[in-house]
Amino acid sequence: MFCVGCGTPVSEGQNFCRNCGHAVKHAAPAAAAPPAPAPPVASAEPRVVPSTPPPQAPSPVPHAAGPHGRCEWCGAEVDLSLGSCPRCGATLKMSSAKTPSGWTELPGRKDMAKLQIGNSTCQIEGLYVPVADLNLAAGDGVYFTHHVLLWKDTNIAVTTMGLKGGWTRVMAGLPLVMTQAVGPGRIAFSKDQPGEIIPLALQPGQSVDVREHMLLTATSNVAYDWFQTGIWFVTQEGNDSETHYPVGRYMDRFYAPTPGLLLLHAGGNIFVRDLAPGQTILVKPTALVFKDPTVDMHLHFEHPAGIFSMWRSWSNRYLWLRLTGPGRVAIQSVFEHIEGEARNMTRWSNATATRW
C-alpha cells in the first residue's frame, strides 16, 4: 500500500508515513462469516407441524320464509308462499267465495294435497270419490268404522276399540265397535260415495258435533262421544204410531284435548256458515253435516196458505231444522228424504211454527 499524501510505500503495520508523517488509513477487515448452524438434536417427542386448516365451504343461505298469515279454513298460522295449508290442505292462494246469503263453499283442495299430523302425513287423493291416504309414524294411530277401510300395508296393526253404551248403540243402528290402526305404515280410507272429504283440524279444548255416519277417520288423540239429539216427531196411521228422528237419534261429539285431525265425508258440495249470537237459519234436517256445540237446534214447521190446508194440514207443510247461533254450521247439497214428513203428526219435540 502507499501513503495517500506523498505516495511513499508504507508497510502493513505502519501507522504514519516515514517521509511526510501522514496518517496511514488501513482498509476495514472483512466481516467474519456466520458460523454454520448446529445440526438438530434428535428429540424423544415427535415434532408436531401445525397444518393449515382446509378452506371451508360457505354456509348455505337459509331459505327466506314467505309472508305469514292465517288459513281461512282452519285458522292455522302458515307460510302463505306454500300452495296449501299443511294442517287442513286448503288452497292458500284461492280466496274463499261467499254467497250473498252468507254461505261459504268448502275451500278448494288440490288433488294430492298433503296434511301434516305431527310426525304423520295425510294425502287427499282424487276429486270425485276422494281417498284419505295416511302415512302413520311409529306410535301414531287413527280410528274408524270398518267399512271405510280401502287398503293398508301388511305391517299395520288393526284392532277393535269398544264403545260405551253398546246395547243402546245396537238399537239405534250405530256401530258397536270402532276399528283402530297404529303405525308405522300406510293406510287409506274411502266412503265409496261421491262427495268431499272435510278435514277438521281441532285445537286443544275444541269440540264439534257431527251427524252420524259422517265420520271417515280421526287421530287417536281425538276423544269420541255421542249424545241424543232430542229432535223427533211421531206419526199416526190408524192404530200404528212411529217415531222419526230427522237428524238421527244420536249425534257424534269429537273433542281434542291436544291438537288432532278429524276427517269427515259428505255428499255433493259442502257449505259452511258462521252464525252470530241469536242469528237463526232453517235448513233441511238431513242436510246437516256438523255444527259447533254452541249452536242450538230444534224443529220448525212452516204452513203455507192454500186451499187444501184446512183438510190435510199435515201434508201441506215444510219441516225444518232451526239452528241458532253463535257458532259454525255446515250442510251438504246431497241429502235424504225425511221419512214420515208428509204423514199425520201427533207429537213432536220442542218446535216453533209459522203459518202464512
Q: Which domains can be identified in the chain, with CATH numbers?
A: 68-355 (3.60.160.10)
Quickly tell me which residue has 294442517 as its cell: 87
**What is the tally of helices (H) and strands (E) in the chain?**
1, 27
DSSP 263-316: EEEESS-EEEEEEPTT-EEEE-GGGEEEE-TT-EEEEEEEE---TTTTT-GGGS
Nearest to 244 by CA among 254, 229, 259: 229
Residues in the chain: 356
pLDDT value at residue 327: 95
Q: How confident is the model at residue 118 (pLDDT cuts 50, 70, 90)?
A: confident
- Distance of CA 301 to CAs 59, 198, 315, Å? 71, 30, 12
Contact 144, 175 (CB under 8 A): no
- 36-57: average pLDDT: 50
Query: What distance in Å separates the CA atoms of residue 267 and residue 214, rounded to the nearest whole number?
Result: 9
Query: What distance in Å separates the CA atoms of residue 313 and residue 345, rounded to the nearest whole number?
Result: 10
Q: How confident is the model at residue 57 (pLDDT cuts 50, 70, 90)?
A: very low
Predicted confidence (pLDDT) at residue 105 exceeds the cutoff of 70? yes
Query: What distance in Å separates the CA atoms of residue 213 and residue 216, rounded to the nearest whole number?
Result: 8
Nearest to 208 by CA among 194, 184, 226: 226
pTM score above 0.95? no
Residue with the larger pLDDT of the pair 176 and 61: 176
- 217-238: average pLDDT: 91
**Coil, strand, or helix at residue 167?**
helix
Q: Report CA torsion sign: 235, 241, 247, 251.
A: positive
pLDDT value at residue 49: 45
Q: Apex CA 258: angle with CA 252 and CA 262, to 5°?
A: 40
Q: Report CA torsion sign: 267, 271, 272, 278.
A: negative
Q: Give bridge partners of residue 265 from the DSSP assignment.
A: 197
